[in-house]
Chains A and B, each alone.
Chain A
């Protein structure tokens, strides 16, 4: 599928050939159902992801939140098909109705960088040090478009300008090590939207950067999304980022999806003890002085020998006997489309975090 029609317009105007109005979307762009990823290790199989389901509508922002090791990155890497051969992926991933899990490398390559693009955490190591930035962006374009090198570099310069890099033409001829951290990430974002992807996956895009740059990068992401009319899947461990940018959020713990819903619903009415714990552990602006932070006790479980039943039950202050026996399903609870995997999700209604 060539993208020569989608000349990137800096004002983010309409694109011919796109289905649906931003936001509502007749059909979700990405549907993940019961995704499971397990790695073969010398010590036995490790289930990094189990039974994760979520959807991404066109042009919406979905945040995936979780601790390190919760499986959030692995989930999206599985969607892109970028996991090593030691990984076994089960379940279903449908992009615009087409099943992409289990496709051959050749077929997957059609989508990668084209309809499904990814931005990684550390822009210094994610860019090839021996080629110029302009070259690398041009390469991303030429893989999926019949275009001369010169034309592609021109496009690259336009993209660099879009993401707010000054002197884009000069910069395009420079090497990654000549860029600052924030600029590198901008360049990575430019590269990822170069083919107007339907879904842009950002894997912890701000974690490796200074706090002061983080807000800028998020703003760039926002701008990029508008220009390319993409949906964004934003992977982060920072709840604040999710609150600020995302429309819907998926909370992951120990490889499972524990809560899923609109940001408002999940943040204001959490239906899973883990989400509750996360929200409670945040320092609050309106707290009265010397209040201690309330962390979640304990540590994440070993994925090699996960605890029986609900993976969170060892740390859950509401745990009941059933929690250590039966694995809770991700089911609908209250609200519009909010889902949680807790046996006692309804009872949690009685515990409110209090609106910010």
Chain B
């Protein structure tokens, strides 16, 4: 198991490096022009523009700029934002907020999806199965932004009708809240509900269908027939033998979809006004804040790679057949 872990770790590092390069080149070539704003302003001389260009290293070749950037990144210096804030602490602060949303939503989605998907497989073609499948389709056909805005709207309406603030629709916590650890975190949990519900409904829809398929395949497998032939109870066959196998592919899917969930977080944070990583990207892009954007993409890539690594390890633990590869 240890050897397996080390091998996976070794493979991840080049991936991060390659991602960082692609990310940088992407922003440098296809991204917007950081000087666009300056150019549009009246009364700005060409000399000023050229000076700024030199300050931002834009007059150097791409590869060299990449080298400068990477050197800085390794040291922990990711530059400064347009608002002259240090990018690294800004990013890390925002990251914490987003991780709350993303991890909570992922966890809940997996649990619900496994439950619904497995039930659908066991009671195949039942009313539950058809209903679950239909709603799964409805939810994963829904764009994140619309569902988010819809839940926000309904949350506001519900609040008005009840006359009190049951649903939190703005931000990730109440600003200036005084109180101990529990108070703060309960408040945060309350703010989590609607945004994570958005992500959960959509993600769980996709995963439950996948789990259903996986469970069906497992239930048809020969070893389930053997288990029944041994006289094992249906419950044990289901939970101990079937579910254990059916969950293995799900781990892979969750890992792959992690990047998608982050994308969903971008939209959800924007709608619900969270000060997380997601909204940071949108804001930064609006003002062509190159440093923030590059750092954002780098951190995200690292995050996804780490998450995939963890998923790989979990997969290796669950499926002994992969440990030898």
One digit per residue, 1 when the CB lies within 8 angstroms of any chain B CB and 0 when it does not, for chain A 130-142 equals 1000000001100
Q: Which residues in chain A, 118-135, are within 8 Å of chain B measured between CB atoms?
A: 118, 120, 122, 125-130
Separation of A105 and B227 alpha carbons in the complex (Å): 14
Separation of A76 and B119 alpha carbons in the complex (Å): 30
With both beta carbons as reference points, the residue of chain B lying nearest to A106 in the complex is identified as: B233
Q: Using Cβ atoms and an 8 Å threshold, which residues of chain B touch A243? A: none
Q: Which residues in chain A, 206-253, are within 8 Å of chain B measured between CB atoms?
A: none
Q: Which residues in chain B, 218-254, are within 8 Å of chain A measured between CB atoms?
A: 221-223, 225-234, 241, 244-245, 248
Q: Does A165 contact B (CB under 8 A)?
A: no
Q: Describe B's contact surface by its main secondary structure.
A: helix
Separation of A126 and B229 alpha carbons in the complex (Å): 11
* B228, B241, B248, B319, most chain A CB atoms within 10 A: B228
Separation of A126 and B223 alpha carbons in the complex (Å): 4
Given the interface pairs A82-B225, A130-B319, the reply to whether A112 lies near B245 with Cβ below 8 Å is no
Separation of A80 and B320 alpha carbons in the complex (Å): 31
Q: Using Cβ atoms and an 8 Å threshold, which residues of chain A touch B232? A: 109, 113, 139, 143
Separation of A200 and B31 alpha carbons in the complex (Å): 71
| B230 contacts A125, C-beta separation under 8 Å | no
Q: Does A144 contact B (CB under 8 A)?
A: yes
Separation of A110 and B230 alpha carbons in the complex (Å): 9
Separation of A134 and B148 alpha carbons in the complex (Å): 51
Q: Which residues in chain A, 187-212, are within 8 Å of chain B measured between CB atoms?
A: 188, 191
With both beta carbons as reference points, the residue of chain B lying nearest to A201 in the complex is identified as: B229
Separation of A80 and B225 alpha carbons in the complex (Å): 11
* B221, B226, B232, B320, most chain A CB atoms within 10 A: B226
Q: B309 to chain A: closest CB distance in Å? A: 21
Q: Does A75 contact B (CB under 8 A)?
A: no
Q: Does B318 contact A (CB under 8 A)?
A: yes
Q: A201 to chain B: closest CB distance in Å? A: 9
Separation of A130 and B221 alpha carbons in the complex (Å): 13
Q: Does A315 contact B (CB under 8 A)?
A: no
Q: Which residues in chain B, 272-325, are within 8 Å of chain A measured between CB atoms?
A: 318-321
| B230 contacts A128, C-beta separation under 8 Å | no
Q: Does A47 contact B (CB under 8 A)?
A: no
| B244 contacts A120, C-beta separation under 8 Å | no
Q: Using Cβ atoms and an 8 Å threshold, which residues of chain B touch A332? A: none
Interface residues on A, range: 20 to 34
One digit per residue, 1 when the CB lies within 8 angstroms of any chain B CB and 0 when it does not, for chain A 298-336 equals 000000000000000000000000000000000000000
Q: Does A38 contact B (CB under 8 A)?
A: no
| B231 contacts A111, C-beta separation under 8 Å | yes
Interface residues on B, range: 20 to 34
| B229 contacts A117, C-beta separation under 8 Å | yes
| B319 contacts A140, C-beta separation under 8 Å | no
| A129 contacts B231, C-beta separation under 8 Å | no
Separation of A38 and B229 alpha carbons in the complex (Å): 21
| A129 contacts B321, C-beta separation under 8 Å | yes
Q: Using Cβ atoms and an 8 Å threshold, which residues of chain A touch B231? A: 109-114, 140, 143-144
Q: B236 to chain A: closest CB distance in Å? A: 8
| B225 contacts A130, C-beta separation under 8 Å | no
With both beta carbons as reference points, the residue of chain A lying nearest to B248 in the complex is identified as: A130
CB pairs A–B below 8 angstroms (29 shown): A80-B229, A82-B225, A82-B228, A109-B231, A109-B232, A109-B233, A112-B228, A112-B231, A113-B229, A113-B231, A114-B231, A117-B229, A118-B226, A118-B229, A120-B222, A120-B229, A125-B221, A126-B222, A127-B226, A129-B321, A130-B245, A130-B318, A130-B319, A139-B230, A140-B230, A143-B231, A177-B320, A177-B321, A188-B226
A residues lining the B interface (CB < 8 Å): 80, 82, 105, 109-114, 117-118, 120, 122, 125-130, 139-140, 143-144, 175, 177, 188, 191
Instruction: Give me 8 other A-B pairs in contact (C-beta within 8 A), A80-B229, A128-B223, A130-B245 excluded.
Output: A111-B231, A125-B222, A125-B223, A130-B320, A139-B230, A140-B230, A143-B231, A188-B226
